[in-house]
Amino acid sequence: MVVDDEPDTVDLVSLVLEGEGYEIMPAYTGREALDMLSDAKPDLILLDIMMPGIDGWNVYQSIRKNEKTKDLPVVMLTAKAQSIDKMIGLHVVGVDGYLTKPFGRMELVDCVKAHLKERK
């Protein structure tokens, strides 16, 4: 699942990952992502932090509180590139990964492969 309020980012991530053989579930708001998660269980969630309405941190908290989704790997996909943001995300909040925009094609693919491999 790719969750980002910027359609261009969702399209780019989808294009790259579909080219690698992955099936993508796009969501453009935090609410849409949470609604989709009530019916589907993706293998990995790439989640933007800064979104209107329900931001990525609130989506992440909802995912972790839900028995059905609490074990899904979540990688924050964000423009918040300062080291303090990354440190908070990884070590304080406990997200599984942190990928900063702009990212390269191989950086994205390697990140997804690593987190899916860890899950198996």
pLDDT recorded at residue 76: 87
Residues whose CB falls within 8 Å of the CB of residue 39, separated by 6 or more in sequence, listed in order: none
What is the reported pLDDT for 82? 55
Higher pLDDT, 31 or 120: 31
pTM of the model: 0.87
- Residue 120: the pLDDT is 59
Query: What does the pLDDT read at residue 57?
Result: 87
Three-state SS at 50: coil
Question: What pLDDT is stored for residue 52 in this prediction?
Answer: 92
Q: Which fold has domain 2-113?
A: Rossmann fold (3.40.50)
C-alpha span between 68 and 111 (Å, rounded): 24
pLDDT of residue 31 exceeding 50, the answer is yes
Q: What is the pLDDT of residue 16?
A: 97
77-114 pLDDT tens trace: 877 555 554 555 444 456 788 888 889 999 999 999 99
* Strand arrangement, sheet containing 26-27: 26-27, 2-3, 45-47, 74-78, 97-100
**End-to-end alpha-carbon separation of the chain, Å?**
17
Q: Residue ranges of the domains in the chain?
A: 2-113
Mean pLDDT of 46-54: 92
Q: What is the pLDDT of residue 49?
A: 87
